[in-house]
Structure 1
Amino acid sequence: MNDIQIHDLKKADKGILKEIFKINEGYNPFLGPLESLDNLIELIKRSNYSVFLTNKEQICAFLVSFRENSSYQSKNYEFFKNRFERFFYIDRIGVVESFKNQGLGTFIYNKIDAICIKDKLPICAEVNIVPINEESIKFHEKMGFKKVSEAYSNSNYGVRYYEKCM
């Protein structure tokens, strides 16, 4: 982890964005597909805090997140918008397969904790339960997130909503 660097995703060049797009699409169905690089670029533009990590210049992880004042349109984001006046919403995080289980998710989430603790912002996220994303469920619970609700769009898609109060 000594060579890990964090970068602002809003300042990333097109080559980096293409790699982030591939990482995102590799997480389907657990991360919603973006369908095009332009959609990723638009998502990042709307985001409030979006970063990517590198290890010796190799991209190894990314995160896109929003605050309560975003124009982002998502059922899951709206769930939290209806619960809180102020919050920090984790929309998507992806770690490259060869970098999994090396503490990168914890590294990013610790950065989020540091941002949110100052303003006592709740941190919000959802995790797929249909199809089940067991790895993400365990990670969020290990990081102190508590289950608050579940929602099912149909028999093929359901999410569990998590919050972490700071």
Structure 2
Amino acid sequence: MEILPLEKKDISAVWEINQQGLPGTGEVTHQEVEGLLGFASFAVGIFDLEELLGFVICMPPRTQYASLNYSWFNERYDSFVYVDRIAVSEQHRNKNIGTRLYDYVVEAAMNINAPIAAEVSLKPPNPGSMRFHSRFQFEEVGVLHHDSKSVTMLIRPADS
């Protein structure tokens, strides 16, 4: 297995894995996945030969990305690595793939001395994701309510 940058040819596989992670990952179309890759500061996947097992897409501050959650961080922080989405295929969960992807994010953020921003669904609740983020030393910095859902806003400080 190796971590490689996501490319346009990976959009269908990213979309499929994202769908498997609903509602936690947030629904997107193939076209929206392509847009995310265009905004991303980095987007990588863990591949076993040609098969995508999981991915993470991260955004820098101040892009034109129109996410309410992302905008919340832009209004409060000058510097960050925003984890827009991370997902692992159903058949490859609980094999440390998510941990390996977050290790990659942590290293990338440390290289630029930036905190990592993320959110976890509060309504509907996602206790597994909250446990996962707490293992990576994320701290709750707010709650954002919109439409029929709420999310817990998290930051992993740059010096963690």
Tell me, in whole angstroms, the C-alpha distance in 1 between the residues paired with 2:11 and 2:101. Answer: 18
CA contact (8 A) 2:114 2:157 kept: yes
Does 121-130 or 101-110 show the bigger shift? 101-110
Deviation beyond 6 Å, 4+ runs, structure 1: none
Contact 2:109 2:115 in 1 (8 A): yes
Percent pairwise identity:
25
Query: Unpaired segments of 5 or more residues in structure 2?
Result: none
1:25 aligns to what SS in structure 2? helix
**1:115-155 deviation line (CA, Å, top 9, x unaligned):** 1113220100000011111111110011110111112214x
The answer to whether the Cα contact below 8 Å between 2:20 and 2:89 also exists between their aligned partners in 1 is: no
Q: Deviations over 1:44-81 (max 9, x none)?
A: 11111101111243211011110013211111001111
2-structure distance, mates of 1:78, 1:158: 15
**Aligned AA for 1:48?**
S
SS of 2:76's equivalent in the other structure is coil
SS at match of 2:22: coil
Residue 75 of structure 1 pairs with residue 72 of structure 2? no
Alignment of 1:114-153 (within 5 A): 114-153=107-146
User: Aligned residue for 1:160?
Assistant: 152
**Alpha-carbon distance in 2 for matches of 1:108, 1:71:** 25
Q: Does 1:96 align with 2:89?
A: yes
Q: Secondary structure at the match of 1:42?
A: helix
Q: Find the counterpart in structure 1 of residue 3 from structure 2.
A: 6
Structure 1 unaligned spans of 5+? none
TM-score, normalised with respect to structure 1? 0.90
Give the TM-score of the pair, scaled to structure 2.
0.93
Report the residue type matching 1:44 in the other structure: L
Match runs of 1:42-61 below 5 Å = 42-61=35-54
Give the match for residue 23 of structure 1. Answer: 17
Please provide the CA RMSD for this pair.
1.3
- Indicate the residue corresponding to 2:26 in structure 1: 32
**Aligned partners of 2:59, 2:35: CA distance in 1, in Å?**
13
CA distance in 1, matches of 2:132, 2:74: 23
